[in-house]
């Protein structure tokens, strides 16, 4: 058995001990002993202890359910936090740098060996366009106040990570940890009410304020150092290879709570937050830059001031205050910005650049390249608008709006027209100078909301917005329809309108759709910048299973690269990835390097969702590591792309995709008992009514097809069956091996990053799956006539595990990563009680129809959060 780092094990032990003290102080020795008995029972042989553990939990009184659930949930959160800190803790001089710190310098050395010259390398790195799009996520249920306490605990772990502490200092740190853990324990960890879209946006802003605000300049400082060491070149001051966008407050697809009013409020809050954050920076800089010597260029702006830098920064400070004050006022009333309000990011960047250049000109470069440079990097990356807000809406809503308009005008019903008729009408109206919408047109509520959203887009500064994403896009007219609605509501500037191809059929049709669109001369002439296309991972996997979906995504990207090249149009692919393997999740670095050649050409856009935002960007040091991975992967995929797959690999993937989708749909769509089994064996019904996010669990009434991809996958993850991530692979791979394709599969895994990454992610999720836990849910929750289906699915899970072992030649899943296996084993000690307690709670809840604010329902929600925390990439 591999031992986890001694310091991490000690951190986990100390935090667990302090949590135990806190629990004992509130509930007494007997209750703490009950917690310990449950933990030791779970830690014993899992197979023999299962029934005993379930029996012990089943005997708990109602008033014990919530504190037991909270104890195990809190421990998993503390273990997560300790594990996160382990990634960034101080290393001894003889310890190697982590991969995340080495990845860029090592890549630059390889690129130079491959023949890339210094100047070209620096140019390419400075020109990278990586956009991380922060999205709300209903599985991120932890309250911001608790996240901040966990961050404070991490800070205390860092404080004790010094060998020269006195006994008094060590005791003081221990006391702070004890107090913070007590504060976390006595804080209700789960929201009582569903968050609003504005709440979610504020959560995203908090991640920027508390982590990314520090991480970005630190990251760019190290990028500049690595570049200079390798090439002698410097990263330009205006370079921002990684920027951030957001869907929080803009994603209205299936979420009636996101309205035009909400979008306006979130845009203003972002401007308020940006002004406030920059004010803090400028106040600090004004205090520090007391120097008298300045360049003539700076003197032109401030005259004969004895402290020229302070004089210039105070001018900027006054304008930032005016901007913040205006944004605050505009939240409650429509107030036009006054002359001092900053509206163009150059107004923020220029004074900082002027100070930086003047200090260098006057021989004070060491001062220029301190906090002033950090502020300048933030100004270029975040700017006056903090993040660019994307807007997303379903294509059907646009069709319905245009149908209402055309019917009002006596032109017939737009939705009933064929594609060519729609394109002809849309092109004609886009070119027409007269408005389409009559002055006295009074639309129905849904159309009015679509038009109001478009008006907010037209009224907002262009730099505050990202893209307009069309979910469930399936035709060229879907893009033109949005362009027409934006034109009719007053948008005079260009905006990227982005089709999102989600289902298997839509992915297969993505190339023809874009071919039709780019064949329109007027459309191509109106393009400003690259053509952005979004590839959906969640819904395609829900529709067809991950085998067929992954291959369809790959082929769609290849097709889009070829078509855009034919039309001499640059392409920006937007990857709609989630946290789980079933939603395209997995290690970002490997995922980027596995994309088709030519698809990552210096540009990359991807979603970062919910709890994964916290795990990847919640602490500045960890954020830096992940920013390094993104930057290095996109640079490598651009300059050292993988080879295209061999014809034999394509043929086998075609066959496996066909086998995989049939096997997946035979269960999910064709088995008559599947829907009922899913609803009985998982918390799917409860997820829809618990306050887990601002968005409803369903797009509309109906069965599996109507369920959003997140609760679909989240439900299976809670029971550890993990079905959406692997179902179909067992048949696809077994059929290939049975056909004698073992050597070819081995070659694909060795030489093709796409296939290797898919198998690696499949192996990871199978290692986290647990048939024994899934069976425990069945035994407690599922009616007898459905039990054979559960047994069949667990048999398919076993087949999937075995075929991966056959393919990798291992005896145990993840045998090549014993530390990961040990982490999973340790977490199971705390996850097993939560799983079995959740099954008990579900049974009691369904029997009693408990109220949402009852202790039983609160305990259920805590188990959901705890399991999510323990498994991490859950939704």
The per-residue DSSP string of 530-560 comes to PEEEEEESHHHHHHH-HHHHHHHHHHHHHHH
Residue with tokens 């009680």: 833
Distance CA 591, CA 568 (A): 27
Distance CA 507, CA 543 (A): 11
Distance CA 32, CA 79 (A): 19
283 Cβ neighbours under 8 A, 6+ residues apart: 317
Q: Where are the alpha helices (DSSP H) in 331-412?
A: 345-361, 365-367, 373-381, 395-408
Buried (b) or exposed (e) across 679-716, using 16+ Cβ within 10 A? bbbbbbbbbbebebbbbbbebeeeeeeebbbbbbbbbb
Helix (H) or strand (E) holding 187: none
Distance CA 559, CA 599 (A): 10
Catalytic residue, from 137, 149, 768, 835: name it.
Answer: 137
Query: How many helical (H) and strand (E) elements, i.e. helices and strands, does the chain have?
Result: 39, 8
Please give the backbone phi and psi of residue 151, each rounded to the nearest 5 degrees, phi first. -65, -40
Q: In whole angstroms, what separates CA 612 from the centre of its chain?
A: 6
Residue with tokens 């990586």: 130
Q: Which residues pair with 605 in a beta bridge?
A: 131, 574
Q: Where are the alpha helices (DSSP H) in 394-444?
A: 395-408, 419-431
CA atoms lying within 13 Å on the CB side of residue 791? 7
Where in the chain are the domains?
Answer: 260-385, 397-582, 648-838
Q: What angle do CA 180, 181, 183 make, to 5 degrees?
A: 65
Contact 693, 200 (CB under 8 A): yes
Residue with tokens 């390097």: 593
- pLDDT on residue 188: 83
Q: What angle do CA 606, 723, 702 make, to 5 degrees?
A: 80
What Rg, from alpha-carbon coordinates, does the chain have? Answer: 28
Whether domain 260-385 has CATH 1.50.10.150: the reply is: no
- pLDDT on residue 366: 97
Q: In whole angstroms, what separates CA 119 from the centre of its chain?
A: 34
Closest CA to 393 of 499, 543, 270, 265: 499
Beta strand pairing call for 603-609 and 465-471 = unpaired
What would the DSSP string read from start to end of 711-774?
HHHHHHHHTT--HHHHTTHHHHHHHHHHTT-HHHHHHHHHH-HHHHHHHHHHHHHHHH--HHHH
pLDDT tens column, 536-587: 887 778 888 999 999 999 999 999 999 999 999 999 999 987 544 333 345 7
User: Alpha-carbon dihedral of residues 218, 221, 226, 227, nearest 10 degrees?
Assistant: 140
Distance CA 855, CA 66 (A): 6
542 tagged catalytic: yes
Helix (H) or strand (E) holding 150: helix 144-159
What token pair was written down for 252?
């209205």
Distance CA 394, CA 399 (A): 9
8-state DSSP, 574: E
Closest CA to 753 of 658, 640, 660, 626: 640
Torsion over CA: 809, 812, 815, 820 (sign): positive
Q: How many residues does the chain have?
A: 875
Helix (H) or strand (E) holding 90: none
Q: Which residues pair with 471 in a beta bridge?
A: 394
Q: What angle do CA 285, 289, 291 make, to 5 degrees?
A: 175
What token pair was written down for 460?
């907002």
Catalytic residue, from 542, 575, 768, 835: name it.
Answer: 542
3-state secondary structure 242-291: EEEEECCCCECCCCCCCCHHHHHHHHHHHHHHHHHHHHHHHHHHHHHCCC
| pLDDT per 10-residue tile (average), the chain, 875 residues | 69 92 94 86 61 72 87 89 80 77 95 94 96 76 74 88 87 94 88 83 91 97 97 96 96 91 98 98 97 96 94 97 98 94 97 98 97 98 98 97 97 97 98 92 96 97 97 97 97 96 94 98 94 88 90 97 97 78 57 93 91 84 94 96 95 98 95 94 80 56 57 87 95 97 97 95 94 94 97 98 95 89 84 91 83 79 86 59
Give the start-end residues of each E strand in 425-570.
Answer: 465-471, 496-501, 531-536
798 Cβ neighbours under 8 A, 6+ residues apart: 771
Q: What angle do CA 294, 299, 302 make, to 5 degrees?
A: 120
Q: Which residues pair with 573 in a beta bridge?
A: 533
Contact 65, 861 (CB under 8 A): no
């Amino acid at each position: 058995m591999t031992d986890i780092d001694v310091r991490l094990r000690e951190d986990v032990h100390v935090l667990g001990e302090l949590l135990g003290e806190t629990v004992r102080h509130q509930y007494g020795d007997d209750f703490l002993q009950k917690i310990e008995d449950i933990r030791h029972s779970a830690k014993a042989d899992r197979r023999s202890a299962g029934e005993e553990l379930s029996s012990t939990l089943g005997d708990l009184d109602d008033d014990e359910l919530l504190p037991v659930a909270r104890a195990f949930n809190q421990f998993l959160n503390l273990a997560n936090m300790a594990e996160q800190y382990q990634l960034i803790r101080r290393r001894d001089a003889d310890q190697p740098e982590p991969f995340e710190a080495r990845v860029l310098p090592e890549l630059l050395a390889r690129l130079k060996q491959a023949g890339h010259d210094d100047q070209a390398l620096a140019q390419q790195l400075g020109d990278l366009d990586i956009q991380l799009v922060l999205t709300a996520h209903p599985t991120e249920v932890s309250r911001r106040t608790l996240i901040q306490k966990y961050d404070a605990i991490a800070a205390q772990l860092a404080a004790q990570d010094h060998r020269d502490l006195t006994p008094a200092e060590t005791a003081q740190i221990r006391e702070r940890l004890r107090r913070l853990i007590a504060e976390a324990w006595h804080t209700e960890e789960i929201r009582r009410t569903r968050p609003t879209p504005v709440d979610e946006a504020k959560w995203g802003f908090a991640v920027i304020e508390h982590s990314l605000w520090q991480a970005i300049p630190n990251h760019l400082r190290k990028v500049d150092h690595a570049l200079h060491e390798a090439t002698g070149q410097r990263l330009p001051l205006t370079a921002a290879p990684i920027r951030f966008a957001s869907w929080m407050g803009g994603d209205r697809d299936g979420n009636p709570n996101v309205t035009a009013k909400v979008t306006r409020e979130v845009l203003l809050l972002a401007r308020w937050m940006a002004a406030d954050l920059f004010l803090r920076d400028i106040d600090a800089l004004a205090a520090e830059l007391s120097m008298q010597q300045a360049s003539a260029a700076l003197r032109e702006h401030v005259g004969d001031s004895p402290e020229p830098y302070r004089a210039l920064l105070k001018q900027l400070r006054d304008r930032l205050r005016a901007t913040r004050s205006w944004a605050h006022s505009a939240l409650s009333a429509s107030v036009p910005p006054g002359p001092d309000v900053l509206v163009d990011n150059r107004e923020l960047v220029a004074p900082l650049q002027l100070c930086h250049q003047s200090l260098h000109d006057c021989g004070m470069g060491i001062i220029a390249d301190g906090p002033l440079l950090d502020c300048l990097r933030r100004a270029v990356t975040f700017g006056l608008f903090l993040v660019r807000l994307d807007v997303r809406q379903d294509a059907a809503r646009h069709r319905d709006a245009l149908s209402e308009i055309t019917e009002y005008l006596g032109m017939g019903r737009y939705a009933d027209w064929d594609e060519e008729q729609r394109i002809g009408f849309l092109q004609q109206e886009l070119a027409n100078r007269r408005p389409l919408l009559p002055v006295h047109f009074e639309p129905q509520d849904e159309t009015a909301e679509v038009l109001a959203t478009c008006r907010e887009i037209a009224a907002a500064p262009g730099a505050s917005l990202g893209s307009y994403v069309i979910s469930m896009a399936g035709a060229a007219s879907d893009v033109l329809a949005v362009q027409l609605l934006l034109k009719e509501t007053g948008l005079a500037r260009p905006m990227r309108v982005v089709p999102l191809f989600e289902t298997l059929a839509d992915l297969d049709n993505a190339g023809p759709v874009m071919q039709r669109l780019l064949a329109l001369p007027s459309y191509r002439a109106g393009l400003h910048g690259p053509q952005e296309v979004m590839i959906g991972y969640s819904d395609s996997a829900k529709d067809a299973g991950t085998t067929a979906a992954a291959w369809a995504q790959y082929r769609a990207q290849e097709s889009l690269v070829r078509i855009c090249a034919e039309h001499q149009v640059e392409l920006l692919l937007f990857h709609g990835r989630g946290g789980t393997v079933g939603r395209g999740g997995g290690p970002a670095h490997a995922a980027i390097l596995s994309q088709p050649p030519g698809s990552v050409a210096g540009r990359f856009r991807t979603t970062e969702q919910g709890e994964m935002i916290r795990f990847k960007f919640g602490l500045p040091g960890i954020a830096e590591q992940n920013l390094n991975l993104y930057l290095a992967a996109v640079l490598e995929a651009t300059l050292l792309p993988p080879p295209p797959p061999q014809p034999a690999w394509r043929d086998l993937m075609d066959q496996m995709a066909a086998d995989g989708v049939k096997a997946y749909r035979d269960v999910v769509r064709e088995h008559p008992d599947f829907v009922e089994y899913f609803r009985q064996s998982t918390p799917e019904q409860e997820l829809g009514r618990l306050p887990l996010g601002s968005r409803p669990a369903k797009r509309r009434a109906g069965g599996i097809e109507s369920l959003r991809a997140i609760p679909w996958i989240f439900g299976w993850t809670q029971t550890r069956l993990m079905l959406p991530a692997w179902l179909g692979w067992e048949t696809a791979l077994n059929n290939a091996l049975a056909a004698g394709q073992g050597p070819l599969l081995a070659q694909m895994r060795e030489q093709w990053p796409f296939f290797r990454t898919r198998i690696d992610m499949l192996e990871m999720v199978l290692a986290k799956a647990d048939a024994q836990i899934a069976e425990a849910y069945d035994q407690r929750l599922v009616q007898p006539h459905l039990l054979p289906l559960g047994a069949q699915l667990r048999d398919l899970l076993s087949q999937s595990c075995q075929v991966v072992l056959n393919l990798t030649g291992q005896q145990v899943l993840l045998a090549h990563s014993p530390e990961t296996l040990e982490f999973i084993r340790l977490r199971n000690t705390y996850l097993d009680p939560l799983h079995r307690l959740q099954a008990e709670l579900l049974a009691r809840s369904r029997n009693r129809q408990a109220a949402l604010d009852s202790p039983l329902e609160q305990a259920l929600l805590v188990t959901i959060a705890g399991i999510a925390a323990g498994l991490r990439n859950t939704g």
